[in-house]
Amino acid sequence: MSTTTAVAVAFPYTLTRMGVVMTPEEGNAYEAEGVLNPGSGHTPDGTLYLLPRLVATGNVSRVGLARVIITDGVPTGVEREGVVLAPDQGWERGANNAGVEDPRVTWVPLLGLHVMTYVAYGPLGPRTAVAVSDDLRAWRRLGPALFTYDEALDMDLNLFHNKDTVFFPEPVTAPNGVWSFAVLHRPMWDLGEVKPGEGVRVPAGITDTRQSIWISYIPVDAVMTDGAVTDIGRLALWEGHRFLAGSEYPFEQLKIGGGPAPIRVPEGWLLMHHGVTGVIDGAFSQQQKVNYAAGAMILDADDPSRVIRRTSVPLLKAETKDETDGIVPNVVFPTAIEEIEGQLFVFYGMADSKIGVARLDRVGA
C-alpha cells in the first residue's frame, strides 16, 4: 500500500512510496551486504535499467545492471544482468578496502553518452571518478575528477574527499558566461581523515564547515569541436567551483548532499537531495547513528548556481521497516529519477540494504 509523506505546502512536489524494487539475492556473494543507491538509464532500444551499488562482504562495492520490471506503469522489480563496473584499477583499491560506489548516471544528449560519476574507494579513501558509456554495459573510465586551481578560494579542492557528484543532462551558461557542462559535488572538509591532525579546512569565504553542495563547470568547447566530441577526458577536469547550498533546516542539521541528476521542471531545475542528522562515527564507517531523509530544491533555470526554493521538511524520511532496519539504519537516499508512461519515479537506497521507489508528483498538476 502506498503512503504519502506530508511536506511543506510551499514546495510544489511530493513523493509517495510505491514499494521495494530490489533486495539482496540470496546466495549472491556480490550482494551479501546489500543492494542500494542506484543510477539509472535507458539502453538504445529504450529499455529502462538500474545500475545498483552491489556490496559484497567487507564493504566491497561493484556496479551492477538490472532491467526494471514494470507492472501497470509502476516499477515492481528487476532482472539482474551482471556487473558492469568493479574495483579493477589500482586507484580504486586500498590495502584493506576497495570499491566503486554510489553511481549517478546522467544521459547527456549533446554527447550521445551516459555520464557516470562514482566514488572510487581507494588507497586514500573516497574519490569521485567519471566514466562514460553509450549502452550502459561497457564503461570507459575517464579517471578521478580533478579540480582546477582558483586562487580566490585559497584552497586546492583536490585535497579533499568528495562524494555525491552528478552531471546536469544539458549544458548551462556558467557564471562567467561560457556555455558549459555543469556538475554538482560535495567536498568533505575534514583533512584529518586524510592526514591525522590537519583538522577541518574550508575555502575562503566559507564559514559553515558542514559538508554542502557545490557546483563546477566544464566548457563545452573544451570537450567538443563543431558538434563532435574531441576530448571526452575533459569531463574529468572541473572548473569555476562555487558553493551552491548548505544545511538550513532541522532534517539537514549534520550535512546535505546531491541526489539524482537534476531535471527540467516548469519552475527551473528540480534537484533532489538528502539531509542528514545524527552523529558521524568516522567518515568511512558504515554508520549506525545517522538519519538520512530526502529533500529537494528548485534551481534557477538559467543559472543553476542559484537556489530559488527548497523543502523545509523532508519529502520522504525513514519510516518503514525497510528504511529503518539495515546495514545503515534510518536511510532514505534518492539517487535516480526516471519517467515511466508519463509518470516520474524516484529510486532510492533504503537503509543501505535495499532499493525502493517513490512516485514524484507536481502539486496541482
The C-alpha cell at 254 is 549534520
The pTM score is 0.95
Sign of the Cα torsion 340, 342, 344, 350 reads negative
Cα angle 85, 162, 95 (rounded to 5 degrees) comes to 60
The pLDDT value given to residue 289: 77
Give the integer Cα–Cα distance in Å for 157 and 29: 36
Which of 15, 20, 88, 41 is CA-nearest to residue 325?
20
pLDDT tens track for 273-305 = 999 998 766 555 555 678 999 999 999 999 999
pLDDT of res. 10: 79
CA distance 54 to 38: 9
Domains and CATH numbers, the chain: 17-362 (2.115.10.20)
Task: Assess contact for 331 and 351: CB atoms under 8 A.
Answer: yes
Grid cell listed for 38 = 542506484
Q: Is residue 107 within 8 Å of residue 41, measured between CB atoms?
A: yes
Whole-angstrom distance, CA of residue 118 vs CA of residue 129: 5
What's the confidence (pLDDT) of residue 4?
44
| DSSP assignments along 218-276, one per residue | EEHHHHEETTEES-GGGGGEEEEEEEEE---SGGGSSEEEE-SPPEEETTEEEEEEEEE
What is the Cα Rg of the chain in Å? 19
Q: Would you give per-residue pLDDT tens digits along the chain (365 residues)?
A: 444 444 444 799 999 999 999 999 999 999 999 999 999 999 999 999 999 999 999 999 999 999 999 999 999 999 999 999 999 999 999 999 999 999 999 999 999 999 999 999 999 999 999 999 999 999 999 999 999 999 999 999 999 999 999 999 999 999 999 999 999 999 999 999 889 999 999 999 999 999 999 999 999 999 999 999 999 999 999 999 999 999 999 999 999 999 999 999 999 999 999 999 987 665 555 556 789 999 999 999 999 999 999 999 999 999 999 999 999 999 999 999 999 999 999 999 999 999 999 999 999 76
C-alpha to C-alpha distance for 300 and 256, rounded to whole angstroms: 19
**CA quadruple 191, 330, 186, 126: dihedral positive or negative?**
positive
Q: pLDDT by residue (tens digit) across 28-40?
A: 999 999 999 999 9
